[in-house]
Amino acid sequence: MLYRKMGKSGDEVSILSFGCMRLPVIGEDPTKINEELAIPMLRNAIDAGVNYIDTAYPYHSTSFEVPGESEPFVGRALQDGYREKVKIATKLPPWLIESRDDMERILDHQLERLQTDCIDYYLLHALNKNFWAIMQQHGALDFLDQALAEGKIKRAGFSYHEGPELFQPIVDAYDWDFCQIQYNYLDEETQAGKAGLEYAAEQGLGVVVMEPLRGGNLAGNLPEEAEAVFAAAKVQRSHAEWALRWIWNDPRVTTVLSGMTEAAQAEENLKVATAAKAGSLTDDELARVDQVKQIYRSKQRVPCTKCGYCMPCPVGVKIPDNLSLYNEYYLFDSDSSRFLASALYNMTLPPEAKADQCTECGQCLEHCPQQIAIPDELKRVTETFTPPE
What local confidence, expressed as pLDDT, does residue 332 receive? 52
Residue 375 lies in a domain: yes
Q: Quick one: 81 and 201 in the same domain?
A: yes
Q: Provide the 3-class DSSP secondary structure of residue 25.
A: strand
**Chain centre to alpha carbon of residue 144:** 23
Claim to verify: residue 252 and residue 373 sit in the same structural domain: no
d(Cα 122, Cα 90) in Å, to the nearest integer?
5
Strands (E), the chain: 3-5, 12-14, 16-19, 52-54, 87-92, 119-127, 153-160, 178-182, 206-210, 255-258
Residue 339 lies in a domain: yes
Separation CA 30–CA 50 (nearest Å): 24
Task: Report yes or no: 331 and 300 within 8 Å, Cβ to Cβ.
Answer: yes
Helical axes 283-297 vs 239-248, angle rounded to 10° = 110
Question: How many residues are given for the chain?
Answer: 389
For residues 145 and 76, membership in a common domain is answered with: yes
Asked if 214 and 326 sit in the same domain, the reply is: no
* Same domain membership, residue 328 and residue 197: no
User: Does the residue 153 lie in any domain?
Assistant: yes
| 24 and 97 belong to one structural domain | yes
Q: Is there a single domain that holds both residue 268 and residue 343? A: no
Identify whether residues 174 and 64 lie together within a single domain: yes
Is it true that the peptide bond before 58 is cis, omega within 30 degrees of 0?
no
Residues 198 and 329 in one domain: no
Domain range for 337:
319-385
368 domain residue, yes or no: yes
Same domain, 332 and 272: no
Shortest CA distance to 226 belongs to which of 186, 198, 171, 173? 186
Please report which helix (H) or strand (E) contains residue 347, including its range: helix 335-348
CATH code, 104:
3.20.20.100
208 and 65 share a domain? yes
pLDDT in tens, 128-154: 888 999 999 999 999 999 999 999 999
What tens-digit pLDDT sequence spans the chain (389 residues)? Answer: 999 999 999 999 999 999 999 999 999 899 999 999 999 999 999 999 999 999 999 999 988 889 999 999 999 999 999 999 999 999 999 999 999 999 999 999 999 999 999 999 999 999 988 899 999 999 999 999 999 999 999 999 999 988 888 999 999 999 999 999 999 998 898 889 999 999 999 999 999 999 898 878 788 888 889 999 999 999 999 999 999 999 999 999 999 999 888 999 999 999 999 999 999 999 999 999 999 999 987 877 898 888 889 999 999 999 998 998 898 788 755 676 687 788 778 877 889 999 999 999 999 998 898 899 999 999 999 999 987 76
Q: Alpha-carbon dihedral of residues 123, 255, 55, 215, nearest 10 degrees?
A: 110
DSSP state of 94: G
pTM higher than 0.85: no
Task: Compute the distance between CA of residue 135 and CA of residue 8 in angstroms, rounded to an integer.
Answer: 24
- pLDDT, residue 269, reads 96
- What is the pLDDT, as a whole number, of residue 379? 96
**What pLDDT does 100 receive?**
97
Assigned domain for 293 exists: no
Residue 136 lies in a domain: yes
Nearest Cα neighbor of 64 from 23, 87, 113, 31 is 31
DSSP state of 33: B
Are 88 and 116 spatial neighbours (Cβ–Cβ below 8 Å)? yes
The conformation of residue 108, written as its DSSP 8-state character, comes to H
Asked if residue 305 is part of any domain, the answer here is: no
Q: How many structural domains are present in the chain? A: 2
The DSSP bridge pattern shows strands 3-5 and 12-14 to be antiparallel
